Amino acid sequence: MNDQGFRRSLGLFSSTMLIAGSMIGSGVFIVGADIVRNGHTGGFLLAAWALTAVMTVFAALSYGELAGMYPKAGGQYTYLREIYGPTVGFLYGWTFFAVIECGTIAAVAVGFGKYMGAFWPAVSESSWLAGPLHVGAMHFGSITVGPYDLGLTTARLSGIVIVLLLSFVNAYGVKLGALVQNTFTVTKIGSLVALILLGLMLKPSIAPNPAPFTPLDGATSLPFLTALLVVQTGSLFSADAWNSITFIAGEVREPKRTIPLSLLIGTSLVCGLYILANFVYLKVLGPTAIATAPNDRVGSVALKALFGPTGEMAMAAAILISMFGCTNGLVLSGARVYHTMAEHGLFLKPAAKLNDSGVPAFSLAIQAVWTCLLTMTGSYGQLLDYVIFAALLFYVLTVGGVILMRIRHPELERPVKVPLYPVLPVLYLVGALAIMGALLIHKPAFTWPGLIIVLLGLPIYWVAKPKSV
């Protein structure tokens, strides 16, 4: 085993590609349908993505200041620990492992399997290899847990294979993992750019209906601003995972400069592409066709409108590439958080070791095991719904920490400072707290279960923490 520490081998390009590759999954091709169903108009769709872009870039710029102050592995876990103490740091790390990271990897990997069904119909969520064991829904007031179908499908098996393969590849060094990431990220950015250019230049076979989407009878409509906040559960988290670069700060060259710059470039690039892609959806399809896209596959329907069935298959291939790269970025970065927690005595002890390639191989392995178990429960989707509120809470604490550290420790070196301080972090906090408030009122099933998952970490922390902490 290697105890000499991480090897700093990632430059600005690889760091930016990790951010972009982790952000771009399948969300931009799907969530527009639900956004239009909530807001009814094309203007609402673009406003939702514009708010997402502003929130994401403001948060990234705020994280850039903390990344310059603490240029070491662990990222957000390290920042929260330094600002608020080990308890808050552990609660983030616990939630990150239990649901946020592993649940996201599971969801993206199984989504990969679902899209493989476009080419190989035998790969699907309805083709069972073991099970299903059905667990009925359980109701707790306004909150419903389940139902779950436990077991192994061909789609879940393909997801497991992808997770194990990428965990194995990343165990051989961050350079190899970064090479895979760079290749797939450049490819999927190219695919997204091609979609945008083709949509801007070509006319669909059927003219889009520009009229607003008419909601179904009995459907309730929220006021514009409230709906704009509620739909961020889709768009904001389709642009999530931009903080992945902070987790591997120990392997980045000149991290005090590279990480803040890559955060700015990566988030701005992806959010700009997202807004343009949704503009193309409106141009090609119109609001009604977006809202009624089969299985919410807006991107596939848009290319089908331009090129027929060939276009639909091309989009399925592009999404497969996108999901593969996204899974790799998440697998690569997440393991570094558990490694840092283990160094503090707050995770399994073997996770603190690096292998001969300078990689936390045990962390990769334990992450893969838990992710594979989540894929077989089929519960990751609901778990991610539950944890959205909790994830926002940790973002708020981290961005708020920029202000707290300015007040408490103005003397600390800040190689990079958030522009227009304190305006940008304050605007982010106002926006994030407004989203949290809207979810508490209008989607309680997205809030209280997430807080319960976070709080479950408290008894684990008090049992597991070293006496010196």
CATH number at residue 61: 1.20.1740.10
- pLDDT surpassing 60 at residue 469: no
User: In 344-379, where does DSSP find H-type helix?
Assistant: 361-377
- pLDDT surpassing 70 at residue 251: yes
The dihedral through the CA atoms of 290, 226, 443, 449 has a sign that is positive
The answer to the question of residue 6 being in a domain is no
The answer to the question of residue 441 being in a domain is yes
Going by pLDDT thresholds of 50, 70 and 90, the confidence category of residue 425 is very high
User: In 123-204, where does DSSP find H-type helix?
Assistant: 154-170, 174-201
Q: Are 241 and 330 in contact (CB under 8 A)?
A: yes
- pLDDT surpassing 90 at residue 206: no
Q: What is the pLDDT of residue 150?
A: 86
The answer to the question of residue 243 being in a domain is yes
Please report, for residues 337, 408, 440, the alpha-carbon distance to residue 403 in angstroms, rounded to integers and kept in the order given: 24, 9, 25
- pLDDT surpassing 90 at residue 241: no
- pLDDT surpassing 70 at residue 218: no
CA-based angle 319:261:76, to the nearest 5? 75
Overall domain count for the chain: 1
Q: What is the pLDDT of residue 2?
A: 40
User: What b/e sequence results for 267-299 when a residue is b if at least 16 CB atoms lie within 10 Å of its CB, and e otherwise?
Assistant: bebbbebbbbbbbbbbbbbbbbbbbebeebbbb
Read off the pLDDT of each residue in 293-310 and give the average, rounded to a whole number: 88
Going by pLDDT thresholds of 50, 70 and 90, the confidence category of residue 296 is confident
The answer to the question of residue 3 being in a domain is no
Query: What single-letter amino acid sits at 133?
Result: L
- pLDDT surpassing 70 at residue 118: yes
The answer to the question of residue 31 being in a domain is yes
Read off the pLDDT of each residue in 105-114 and give the average, rounded to a whole number: 86
Give the structural domain span for 404.
12-464
The answer to the question of residue 426 being in a domain is yes
- pLDDT surpassing 80 at residue 219: no
Q: What is the pLDDT of residue 164?
A: 96
- Which DSSP helix (H) or strand (E) runs through 445? none
Going by pLDDT thresholds of 50, 70 and 90, the confidence category of residue 216 is low
- pLDDT surpassing 80 at residue 70: yes
This prediction's pTM: 0.90
Q: Provide φ and ψ at 43, rounded to 5°.
A: -60, -40
133-181 residue pLDDT tens: 888 878 877 677 777 788 999 989 999 999 999 999 999 888 888 889 9
Q: What is the pLDDT of residue 468?
A: 64
343-382 residue pLDDT tens: 999 999 999 999 888 899 999 999 999 999 988 887 766 7
More confident residue, 416 or 215: 416
Cβ of 310: how many Cβ atoms within 10 Å?
Answer: 11
Q: What is the pLDDT of residue 273?
A: 96
279-292 residue pLDDT tens: 999 999 999 999 99
Residues 6+ apart with CB under 8 A from 38: 44, 222, 227, 230, 231
The answer to the question of residue 1 being in a domain is no
The answer to the question of residue 469 being in a domain is no
Q: What is the pLDDT of residue 3?
A: 38
DSSP bridge pairs for 130: 152
Cβ of 430: how many Cβ atoms within 10 Å?
Answer: 10
Mean pLDDT of the chain: 89
CA–CA separation, 311 and 316 (whole Å):
9
